Chains A and B, each alone.
Chain A
Amino acid sequence: MALSYLRLIVLVPIISAAYPSLTRAAELSGRVVAIDDGDAVSQAMVSLTLPKGAAGPAAITVFTAADGAFRLSAPSLKNFSGAALSVRKLGFRQVRPAAGTLDAKSAKTAGRFETRVYLQAVANIADDVPPSAWLADAPAGEAKNITVLSCSQCHQLPFARMREYAEKIEAVSAGPQRDRKAREEWRKVARHSAWRDVVKDMRAKHYVFFPLESAIGRANVDWATTQNADYNLFNARHGDIAADYLAQHFPRTTAVLPRDDYDYGAPLGVTERTVIREFALAPDSVVREMVPLSLGGKPYLWGTDVRRNLVVRIDPASGHTRWIPVDFKDTTGPHTIVPDDDGKLWVSMVDNAQFGRLDPATEKWTLWTLRPPGLPDSEWIGGAAIVHDMAVDTRGHLERDTAGRIWVTLSGTNKMGTLDPKTGDVTFHEANPIEGMSPTNTLIYSTILSRDRKHVWYSQLNGSVGSMNAESKQVEKLIPFPEGTGPRRMWRDDANNLWVALNGTGQVAKIDMDKGELVATYDLPDRLAAPYAVTWDSARKALWVATSNAEALYRLDPESGRFKVYPLPRHGAYLRMIAVDAKTGQLVGTYANYVPTGAAPRMGLLIDVGD
């Protein structure tokens, strides 16, 4: 008898370790109901924040079915003590239990809990809408596009502090008294002056783009240099246009937004099987991008922390993060991360012209310097190469041209670069100049090889989409876009079409790479969404569009031209890139506003689409 107990004591942990699925995870099920009419609320977002210190994600979000029912599983928990539940649905507020509390009853089966959440329809949705809602009614056109493009490069438009700032402008108490007309005229001048100062402030804050201790970081660059528009991400004219547009059209207050003034613009794509897991990252990190890559058969997420010169590895099961330094004597600013077919990771870096390959198993780096000749000696923004993106294939894996060279964009220089990793040979090639734009203003951004790997396409955020012959290095095709369009991240689909996120106009473009022609543009459900990147999903035959301002992910069906919306569970959810895990179909990304520490979420994302 005693022996049997002993066996049990020994065997249970062993079996649990070997077969985690046999260990019962805490499960929460429930229903979301509107108190106004007692009807079920479908596609409501149900977010569970796990107790601090719990293994796994920091938060798990699921969505309700047509009957308002939801079910979520927290593998690391035995019960929900210390966890918090919030339910969101645009046009409603949570009334019972209070948002952030959890009132769950234990079900008959061990580890299972049940709850019911009540929502109430509201007239004011100011606290629920994404940033894009606030300029929805402002006049459309080039000035608006330029404003969206210029601001959304680094942060959401409007980021919460912009809303606070706008209200403060209206509270400035100087100016003429007792003369209402004169005071309104004075306030117009005050608004222009204040928003122009914001543009100056942003020019200085651009330098936060570089790592904390960088020689060209914010701490080390003098004021006059920060105000030189040629070294900034938007030129002097665009800065003036943005300041004027904001002065004229930014809402005087953002305390109230009527229910009918914003909707998602397309049907929601979420189902009761959609699960969004958010993993906490260091609060002072800026992890721009994240990709899935298994190591020793175990799935991991890998990201680049541009602020702290690190690569992060997240174990989705435990939530544990491992921070890996770049093996370089100075600051590097890891920016874009891409896996290859051999299980290695390739990382471009914005500082000190570094480009590297990381072996995830050994954590050993191989580094190359991709600095074009002829740049000023000082490694400051006017002379920085800013190694930005590298060409990827339809799966998002590193792709090389027919000669085995890797192609990169150099955002500080309006040049393309090549690297032959076998020989270490590097070459540099001028892209087309854009009138009125310095090389830094032009902001050459993304690059993709055509299917035959003989033509390399590039986007310029303040310019065109073009292609270069991979052998002759001559520019072959140019597809111009109006100012403010903002062609940003690109991706190739299975039919050799190039998809381009149009950041300023809220569209995506489809370019036939064989013909070198723009064949279609698709308006996003929310034109102020500021799409940052597009990702082709071969298995689903769909295009994912990551947005900066809409706090949502869009899915485009290219056949029908229809979009579906996947809302994200958090304010400040500024997406830059989405990767698709070819094995699981899961989506991977991060939140990456360039804002002060603590002012926006720092999290990695793992999404089960639920289709």
Chain B
Amino acid sequence: MTRRLLTTLLFPTLLAIAAPPALSRPVAMTDADATRFFHAQGCKTCHARDELRIGPSYAMIATRYPNATPETVERLRLKVLYGGAGAWGTTPMISHPDVSVAEAEAVLRWILAAGAEASKK
């Protein structure tokens, strides 16, 4: 009985600790959440929904990565966290060490969805 109880309590905890970040459940971001995030992290100086600033617009990103697979999301998520160099020309993207894995994944899903909407217009 005690063993079963311990297993019941401990197993999910251990699973959560052992789970790699990529498996964390993505939290859906609302437009307001995304706007706050872009403002707080300084994303908006380089990116906009459908305006070309320094980096690609979200519509361009969504057009480039339609029907994104988990691998694509993973690749883009790493770009948000660690920055990038050369995917969209010669200007690198800076890293964002303060962004969590879950935040990066959530914002990417928002970009791919909202960008796809914007690209249809």
The residues of A with any CB-CB pair to B shorter than 8 Å are: 161, 164-165, 168-169, 171-175, 189-190, 193-194, 197, 200-201, 204-205, 218-219, 223, 226, 596-599
Contact = CB atoms under 8 A, between A and B. Distances in A.
A596 B94 contact: no
B54 A168 contact: no
A164 B94 contact: yes
Contact of A172 (B42, B46, B53, B90): B90
- At the interface, is chain B mostly helix, strand, loop or mixed? loop
B51 A190 contact: no
Contact of B92 (A172, A189, A204, A205): A172
Interface string B32-51: 00010001111011101001
A204 B45 contact: yes
Contacts of A205: 42, 45
Interface centre among B35, B46, B91, B95 (most CB of A within 10 A): B91
Interface stretch (B1-9, B23-31, B81-89): B81-89
A161 B90 contact: no
B51 A164 contact: no
B90 A194 contact: yes
B71 interface: no
A446 to B, nearest CB: 29
Nearest to A194: B91
- At the interface, is chain A mostly helix, strand, loop or mixed? helix
Given A165-B92, A197-B91, A223 B85 contact: no
Given A168-B85, A204-B45, A174 B90 contact: yes
Interface of B: 35, 39-42, 44-46, 48, 51, 53-54, 83-86, 89-95, 98
Nearest to A166: B92
A173 to B, nearest CB: 5
Given A168-B84, A205-B45, A219-B39, 17 more contacts: A164-B95, A168-B94, A171-B85, A173-B85, A173-B86, A174-B86, A189-B90, A193-B89, A201-B46, A201-B54, A204-B44, A218-B39, A219-B44, A223-B51, A596-B41, A596-B98, A598-B98
A322 B110 CA distance: 39
A479 to B, nearest CB: 37
Contacts of A219: 35, 39, 44
Contacts of A189: 90
A199 B53 CA distance: 12
Contacts, number: 65
B42 A168 contact: no
A223 B92 contact: no
A172 B51 contact: no
B97 to A, nearest CB: 8
A172 B89 CA distance: 9
Contacts of A175: 90
B76 to A, nearest CB: 17
Contacts of B39: 218-219
16 contacts: A164-B83, A168-B83, A168-B94, A172-B90, A189-B90, A190-B90, A193-B89, A193-B90, A194-B92, A197-B91, A205-B45, A223-B48, A223-B53, A596-B98, A597-B40, A599-B98
Interface centre among B44, B48, B86 (most CB of A within 10 A): B86
A596 B38 CA distance: 12
Contacts of B91: 193-194, 197
Contacts of B35: 219
A173 B91 CA distance: 11
Contacts of B84: 168
B77 to A, nearest CB: 18
A292 to B, nearest CB: 33
Given A172-B86, A193-B89, A205-B45, A161 B94 contact: yes
A197 B93 CA distance: 11
A175 B86 CA distance: 9
A194 B46 CA distance: 12
Contacts of B94: 161, 164-165, 168
Nearest to B51: A223
Contacts of A597: 40, 98
A410 B98 CA distance: 36
Contact of A200 (B54, B89, B90): B54
Contacts of B98: 596-599
B100 to A, nearest CB: 12
Contact of B44 (A161, A218, A598): A218
A287 B53 CA distance: 31
Contacts of A169: 85, 90, 92
B118 to A, nearest CB: 15
A436 B82 CA distance: 40
Contact of B42 (A164, A173, A596): A596
Q: 6 smallest A-B Cβ distances: which pairs? A: A168-B92, A190-B90, A204-B45, A172-B86, A197-B91, A172-B85
Nearest to B46: A201
Nearest to B93: A168
Contacts of B48: 223
A157 B34 CA distance: 31
B26 to A, nearest CB: 23
Nearest to A187: B90
A219 B93 CA distance: 21
A172 B88 CA distance: 10
B45 A201 contact: yes
Contacts of B40: 597
A200 B95 CA distance: 18
Contacts of A194: 90-92
A219 B35 CA distance: 9
A109 to B, nearest CB: 45
A599 B40 CA distance: 13
Given A197-B54, A223-B51, A598-B98, A171 B90 contact: no
A598 to B, nearest CB: 5
Contacts of A599: 98
B48 to A, nearest CB: 7
A168 B90 CA distance: 10
A599 B44 CA distance: 18
A578 to B, nearest CB: 29
Contacts of B93: 168
B65 to A, nearest CB: 19
